[in-house]
Amino acid sequence: MSVPNIDAVKAYLLSLQDSICDALAEADAKQVFVEDAWERPSGGGGRTRVISEGGIFEKGGVNFSHVFGESMPASATAHRPELAGRSFQAMGVSLVMHPRNPYIPTSHANVRFFIAEKEGEDPVWWFGGGFDLTPYYGNDEDCRHWHQTAKNACEPFGEDIFPRYKQWCDDYFHIKHRDEPRGVGGLFFDDLNELGFEKSFALMQSIGNAYLDAYLPIVERRKAAPFGEREREFQAYRRGRYVEFNLVYDRGTLFGLQSGGRTESILMSLPPDVKWGYDWHPEPGTPEAELYTRYLTPRNWLEV
C-alpha cells in the first residue's frame, strides 16, 4: 500500500476551505466569513471561519483543523482497539450552513484524514467524509440534483461506490431515539484505505469538490421563496433534531470534545435558533407533514 503524503492532504484541505468560503460568501452577497485561528494546547490547531446574519445564511461555519497527540481519545479506541498506544494526526474540513429561508435546506459536508503511528509498525490511516442535506420543506428537484451530483463524484471510482456510500449515509444520519432520518441523505464514508493512498485521496477530493456543485444551485433556486412565521417556527423545531443528532451521535463531535479540541469550533455546527415542542405533530395534509411522509423516508431519489 502506498505511503500517505500528509503534506499533500493538508494543502488540499486548506485550499478546499478557501474555495468553499469564497463561493458561499459570494452567494450570500451581504456578509463574509470571519476567521478565528486557534491552537490546541496538546498539539495542533486550526482556523474556524464563521458567517452570521448574512443575506442568505443565518449562521454557517467552515472549519479546518489539524490536531495531533501521543494517545488516542476514547471515542477512537472504543471502535479500533488496535490504535491504543499510537500517536495520531487528524485533519479535515467540516462545514454546516444554516440558511434563514426555511425553503433552503441546511447542508453539511466533511472530508478528513486520520493516521496513527507507532515506531516499528506500519501506520494505520484512512480517509472519511461525505455530505448530506437537511430540508425543512422538501423538493423533489433539489433531492434529485443533490444525489445526482453525489453519484457523479463517485462514478470514476467504481459503480459500487455511490450506492454503498448513499446507504452508509442513510444509516449513519439516523436519529435512533426518534427513529427518523436527519434529512434526505447524500454520501458518507469512513475507514477508506483499500484503494491505496493515491486513489483514496482522489476519491476524497472528488467528494469534497462536489459539495458546491451540489448545494449552490439549490440555494439559487430557493433563496427568493416567500416565507413567514409559520415556516420559521417549523424550521426552529426541525433544527432541534439537528442538535440532537450532533450532540448524541456524531462521531466528529465526540472525537473533537474527547481529544481536547476547541469547543467553539466543534460546536459551530449548531443552529442559532432552535425550539423543542412537547409531543408536537404536524397537521395531516400540510407541507410540514409532507416532510415526514415523503422526504424523511430513505429512497432512491434518482428514480423519483
Instruction: Determine if residue 111 is labeled as part of a ligand binding site.
Output: yes
Per the rule left: phi > 0, alpha: psi between -120 and 50, beta: everything else, 279 is left
Cα–Cα–Cα angle for 254, 242, 35, rounded to 5 degrees:
70
Instruction: Determine if residue 108 is labeled as part of a ligand binding site.
Output: yes
Tell me whether residue 301 is exposed, middle or buried, using C-beta atoms within 10 angstroms of its C-beta: 0 to 12, 13 to 18, 19 or more: buried
Instruction: Determine if residue 147 is labeled as part of a ligand binding site.
Output: yes
Instruction: Determine if residue 260 is labeled as part of a ligand binding site.
Output: yes
Instruction: Determine if residue 281 is labeled as part of a ligand binding site.
Output: no
Grid coordinates representing 89 are 494526526
Instruction: Determine if residue 294 is labeled as part of a ligand binding site.
Output: no
Grid coordinates representing 19 are 474555495
Instruction: Determine if residue 177 is labeled as part of a ligand binding site.
Output: yes
CA–CA separation, 70 and 80 (whole Å): 16
Instruction: Determine if residue 112 is labeled as part of a ligand binding site.
Output: yes
Q: Catalytic one among 66, 79, 108, 174?
A: 108
Grid coordinates representing 155 are 462514478
Instruction: Determine if residue 261 is labeled as part of a ligand binding site.
Output: yes
Q: Tell me, yes or no, if 108 is annotated catalytic.
A: yes
Residues tagged in the binding site annotation for substrate = 94, 110-112, 260-262
- Please list the active-site residues: 108
Residues tagged in the binding site annotation = 94, 98, 108, 110-112, 147, 177, 260-262
Residues tagged in the binding site annotation for a divalent metal cation = 98, 108, 147, 177
